[in-house]
Chains A and B, each alone.
Chain A
Amino acid sequence: MVDVELSDAIRLCDEGLIEDIDHAMLPPAPDGTPPEEDFIEGALQPCAVATITWSTIYAFNEEAFPEDGAQPATIADFFDTEAFPGKRGVRKWPKAIMEMALMADGVPPEEVYDVLATDEGVDRAFAQLDRIKDDIVWWEAGAQAPQLLADGEVVMTTAYNGRIYGAQVEEDQPFEIVWDGQNLDLDLWVVPAGAPNRDAAMEFITFSTDTQRLADQAKYISYGPARRSSFPLVEADMQPHMPTNPENMEKALISDPLFWADYQEELNQRFNTWLLQ
């Protein structure tokens, strides 16, 4: 079995590369709520079952911006090198940073994808990115982002929220997450078509996506469970670190897998061309 992002799960399913998943095999919530209602929106796909919600956020190092001075607080601050000078880490991939650029330009989360589907919208996003282009250090693997931040190579970076949590808690790093403009996405289990141990894989999916198991994984990393019935079981001191915590959700964008399935190629090409300029 494989852990994939939502847009990939949809593409894989369309192309017949992964097995169908029978939702009836999934256990109901302890109170009897059927899985179709218990799982959050988008979590149950014809060929995939979500386990966690995670998000792309940006985080800064408090050594660069101490508490007694001005600290970045909004997504626009990430693109403002005058108020907050210094290098920025960004994942070398158009997804998430394009949306963040538009939100920084004042586009409300619910309109981001409509704007990004137009040429003018893409130009707007690149205009924002142009403002920080000379200050960007690109990263590709998730572990690089907290490393860049810890090494002082950058003063702030986009990252997966769990990676920053890991650095904050386990390594006691003075990192601070800015939830404004976060991009929420799902991770899902899929089973490759024709997998030799298909039945065992399905059994594992049933086991690992029940209410208690999903709540338990949140003990180890700050990724939200994909079932509503798991929310109250998450330990209290983990709650504020969850991307789905109401306070963190005030200006959150739900990543649109269909948009990325449609526009990934074109935006990749434009993104790579922009990188070269």
Chain B
Amino acid sequence: MATTTLAPATAAASDARDGRGEALRAADGTPLKRKLERTTRLSRLRAFLLVVPLLAFVVVSFLVPVGTLLWRGVSSPTFATHMPRTTAVLAEWDGRAVPGEAAFAALAADLVDARESRDIGKVATRVNRELSGTRSLFTRSARRAERIDEGPFRAAIIDIDEDWGELELWRAMKVASWSVTPAFYLQALDLQVEADGAIARLPEERQLHVSLFWRTLWMSGLITFLCLLLGFPVAYLLANLPLKYSNLLMIFVLLPFWTSLLVRTTSWIALLQSQGVLNDVFVALGLAADDRRLQLIYNQAGTIIAMTHILLPFMILPLYSVMKTIPPSYLRAARSLGADQVTAFRRVYLPQTVPGIGAGSLLVFILAVGYYITPALVGGQSGQLISNIIAFHMESTLNWNLAAALGGILLVGVVLLYWTYNRLIGIDNIKLG
């Protein structure tokens, strides 16, 4: 604010100086221009100091965690840290045939050390992510590797378990030994990297994430569309009804908005479940047979219904705030100039609500893409979204690297969407209330 009010004054001061050929001075004798600059700088500094607490909060609680998590998506130092000798040998290895004595000697030494420092489980978990079924091979072999005193190590280790002679295992170890790895991002896209550097698709029975990303996108799109369809008339009524009705209506919109998310989700369970209110009504009306009740929840339908309801206020409120500013006289003018009801709406009213539609849709869509608790509770198997798989890897499998990679892709997707929106419609055109 300070700069805008001062700018004309500065300009006036310099004009004045040009006119008279000497600088204007303030009461204490300093040139006016310099004094103005100092005041501006001071007020800027003051403004900055005022936002410092918020800035620090955002950096500490948002940017740093997001940054570290994104870094986790490509960082996997476990194997390289705890199996240093093997990692060094694997870096030289070309991946064509099972390596020789030197590699096995390094492996034996690393296994013993990793067991002593009790890190063998972490190493085993990492390799097991590349090649399933190898976890116990590591823990078991590490116990017995202690008894190998001297070479030849290759024979001794293969004697512990002949799986050590498998090329596939060594290739998995090579992939695991990269400290910075594309493996998790590739896995998040249903791809895998092989030891020779080639990238291949995962077998069909393990392709999970790409289809889940698509599902998340189309379901979020559908929910956004449904919110718009249901929210637009409500927002119109809110903006145009006499005050005493619109206030009451506003309370109906805000009351659920203020109610806990969990309460709203669980009340949908009570309403929609097969022994629930809605099905009971259908059966009583003869619309559904008692033994063939409709499955409205624990599937896609459940997620779509509950999420549309929960996200509806995020569509209505921006729409309302835009519609409130459209003078009713515009529509009347259109009518008086000969437009019929539909044309007046389509060519005069609707274009003016676009900032509200844009804001509401963007808000609902971005919230829907990352929604987690509602699909988890009412989604069953077909109504799960990508966020549920991310939560699954965070909480159940503890594969945070993969969770981070999935989250990273989601973040990039949302940013891309925002960017496209900005290019097409312009983010300045948005009105959030």
Contact = CB atoms under 8 A, between A and B. Distances in A.
Interface of A: 11, 13-16, 92-93, 117, 136-138, 151-153, 258, 261-266, 268-270, 272-276
Nearest to B273: A153
B116 to A, nearest CB: 10
Interface stretch (B41-49, B54-62, B122-130, B148-156): B122-130
B212 A276 contact: yes
A138 B380 contact: yes
A92 B399 CA distance: 18
Contacts of B119: 15-16
Contact of A266 (B121, B132, B215, B384): B132
Contacts of A93: 396
A265 B129 contact: yes
Contacts of A273: 205-208
Contacts of A266: 132-133, 206
A15 B389 contact: no
A266 B134 CA distance: 11
Nearest to B119: A16
Nearest to B190: A273
A13 B142 CA distance: 14
A13 B133 contact: no
A270 B205 contact: yes
B33 interface: no
Nearest to A193: B118
Contacts of B224: none
B397 interface: yes
Contact of A262 (B136, B298, B380, B381): B136
Contact of A276 (B118, B124, B208): B208
Given A14-B120, A15-B118, A153-B273, A272 B205 contact: no
Nearest to B142: A14
Interface string B92-124: 000000000000000000000000011111101
Interface of B: 117-122, 124-125, 128-129, 132-136, 139, 205-208, 211-212, 215, 273-275, 298, 380-382, 384, 389, 392, 396-397, 399
Given A15-B122, A153-B273, A276-B208, A137 B380 contact: yes
B381 A275 contact: yes
B397 A264 contact: yes
A129 B129 CA distance: 25
Given A15-B125, A272-B208, A273-B206, A261 B397 contact: no
A14 B122 CA distance: 8
A262 B132 contact: yes
Nearest to A87: B274
Contacts of A11: 121, 125
B161 to A, nearest CB: 13
B275 A265 contact: no
B126 to A, nearest CB: 11
A14 B127 CA distance: 14
Contacts of A138: 298, 380-381
28 contacts: A11-B121, A14-B118, A14-B124, A15-B118, A15-B119, A16-B122, A93-B396, A138-B380, A153-B274, A261-B135, A262-B133, A262-B135, A262-B136, A263-B132, A264-B397, A265-B397, A265-B399, A266-B132, A268-B392, A268-B396, A270-B205, A272-B208, A273-B205, A273-B206, A273-B208, A276-B208, A276-B212, A276-B384
A270 B118 contact: no
A16 B121 CA distance: 8
Nearest to B208: A273
B136 to A, nearest CB: 5
A151 B215 CA distance: 31
A151 B273 CA distance: 10
Contact of B275 (A15, A153, A268, A272): A153
Given A14-B139, A138-B380, A153-B273, 18 more contacts: A11-B125, A15-B118, A15-B122, A16-B117, A16-B119, A16-B121, A92-B381, A93-B396, A137-B298, A137-B380, A138-B381, A263-B133, A265-B132, A265-B397, A269-B208, A273-B207, A275-B381, A276-B211
Contacts of B392: 268, 272
